[in-house]
Structure 1
Amino acid sequence: MSRENAAAAGPGRATVGWRDYYELCKPNVVFLMLLTSVIGMFMAVPGMVPWRVLVFGNLGIGLCAAAAAAVNHLVDRRIDLIMARTHNRPIAQGRLKTANAAVFAAVLGVAGMAILLIEINALTAWLTLASLLGYAVVYTLYLKRATPQNIVIGGIAGAAPPLLGWTAVTGEIHGHALLLVLIIFVWTPPHFWALAIHRRDDYAKVDIPMLPVTHGIGYTKLHTLLYTLLLFVVTLLPFATGMSGMLYLLGAVCLGAGFIYWAIVLLRGNDPKAPMATFKYSIIYLMALFVVMLLDHYMLPATIIYEVSAYE
């Protein structure tokens, strides 16, 4: 039986494949988290990150993030089957047994923690564990079903990767690392609310109190714009604190202006495609912002040296 025919046979009757385990890890989400983790590492040092830290640090962080994603699939398997966006997930469709998925998540989590404890440092390991539990337990099990502010409060867990990358290199928590966390923390609500507006009926159907369900789409659009404006201000702080230079400032202003534009388009409500367009732009925005920050980080010392030489 082919994979397509097996899937069409119904829940519990499809054959399992490596792609099902891969999907369980939410790879797109994990890759975005690892990008911010890698940039957190490079921002922590003036030169090259030691290769062992770069490889084993991100491997451990990635495995723990994948474990948290697998737990999310486990906990949400019943509502996933009802929602259009998630109905074909492997556990919801019965392609993966819950016991197998639980073992898989446990193996990933234990392996990730072991790598961080042995190859990196205890601070990074325990912060990663706190992030894992924050997403898999506090957010998925409780906050998601308890309050329309779920994504605001729970967003701190998803904002941790740049801090984890920073501590993996330095072994200490620095104010600049917390500033990177703050950027992702403030970015998360407008990013997710745009998707929640698009999928409002899905969340209402499964009684998940996302903001568009409890307070309406207009209210959510307004708060998406307000958080986007706050994000614009927060992203200026790396320049204001001397962490980043003019290249980053230019990038932050241009990218932030684009995000504000889409938030305004979303608020006006004339374009039915605006929620998903805003959601997709928010992903590009975060990736581009951190890449520009990294480029600026390695250009800034050269600029300073040139200016000093010219002065002398």
Structure 2
Amino acid sequence: MPESASAGTAAGSRWREYLELCKPRVVALICFTAVVGMLLAVPGMVPWNALLAGNLGIFLAASSAAVINQVIDARADAQMDRTRNRPLPTGTVTAGEALLFAAVLGVVSMILLEVFVNTLTAVLTFASLIGYAVVYTLYLKRATPQNIVIGGAAGAAPPVLGWTAVTGSVDPPALLLFLIIFVWTPPHFWALAIRRHEEYARVNIPMLPVTHGLAYTRLHVLLYAVLLLAVSLLPYATQFAGWPYAVAAVLLGARFIQWSVRLYRTQDSDVASATFRYSITYLMGLFAALLVDHYL
């Protein structure tokens, strides 16, 4: 192979390694909820500075947090089947390189948000980054089985960030969007934790199924799914959304409860995986329904 072609292949592989550090699928979901928060904040079109610079800033900050998360968790990731092939455990990217990459992403995101959006969004985005990358990953994750409940506040911030990027203020509807994701996060993540409980036990991370058992965790997934259905109807109850959204929320929530009941009644790990996958579909569907209802 010619030297130039070999160098090009190496550069392409390197680029993919850094992209994987950003957890692009997770960040894509984060950015989707942020975009919905922006669009719900105004009756018409979102200002271009908020839409472009705001979303890019939120994307880069979320990516920075994801990289820091993997640097801190590299040793545990190397012992877990789901994560052992990530760039840091395999050694294709060093911890120093990853931290430098995270710093660049974080600094650029803050500059974009401060210069082109507003200070409130920059401050809240930085707080969310620190909340996930440091408070949750470095402390809460290994301190308490309620880690994902408490740490879920950082993951629930994106629609609020999208909202403030447009309005410059934190308003009650934005807090409803925050509450939906905050309540959604535990059953979403606990379904995965049930599937991977042996791996979490191996690396001494006190996830709920490790500390309290699978039956206890299954029950709590079901209870949270019921609570989530109630919380998801708050936008309709407060007249922020109309009946098209309410119908979608009931159907999506009922399906989530159905999966949670199946999970509660079985020890099949495939049902846990299916519940986890549906939880992602649920959140995307619910926020899409909010958006459709908004423009209807």
Contact 2:136 2:151 in 1 (8 A): yes
Residues 1:137 and 2:111 are matched in the alignment: no
Partner of 1:296: 293
Tell me, what secondary structure is at the counterpart of 2:90?
coil
| CA distance 1:251–1:27, change in 2 (3 Å) | same
2:125 and 2:269 map into 1 onto residues whose CA distance is: 38
Q: Deviations over 1:120-171 (max 9, x none)?
A: 0000000000000000000000000000000000000000000000000000
Residues 1:152 and 2:149 are matched in the alignment: yes
Residues 1:44 and 2:41 are matched in the alignment: yes
Partner of 1:241: 238
Partner of 1:30: 27
2:179 and 2:65 map into 1 onto residues whose CA distance is: 21
1:93 to 86, 90, 95: 90
Consecutive unaligned residues in structure 2, runs of 5 or more? 2-11
1:16 and 1:245 map into 2 onto residues whose CA distance is: 48
Tell me, what secondary structure is at the counterpart of 1:273?
helix
Tell me, what secondary structure is at the counterpart of 1:133?
helix
Q: Deviations over 1:5-52 (max 9, x none)?
A: xxxxxxxxxx96111100000000100000000000010000111122
Partner of 1:80: 77
- What is the TM-score when the length of structure 1 is the normalising length? 0.90
Q: Which runs of 4+ in 1 moved over 3 A?
A: none
1:49 and 1:16 map into 2 onto residues whose CA distance is: 36
Aligned amino acid, residue 265 of structure 1: R
Contact 1:265 1:271 in 2 (8 A): no
How many pairs were matched up? 286
Give me the identity figure in percent.
Answer: 62
Tell me, what secondary structure is at the counterpart of 1:71?
helix
After TM superposition, give the deviation of residue 273 of structure 1 in Å: 1.3
Partner of 2:221: 224
Tell me, what secondary structure is at the counterpart of 1:128?
helix
Residues 1:266 and 2:263 are matched in the alignment: yes
The structure number with the bigger radius of gyration is 1
Residues 1:117 and 2:128 are matched in the alignment: no
Contact 2:194 2:269 in 1 (8 A): no
After TM superposition, give the deviation of residue 270 of structure 1 in Å: 5.3
How large is the Cα RMSD of the aligned pairs?
Answer: 1.1
1:79 and 1:207 map into 2 onto residues whose CA distance is: 9
- What is the TM-score when the length of structure 2 is the normalising length? 0.95
Consecutive unaligned residues in structure 1, runs of 5 or more? 2-14, 300-312
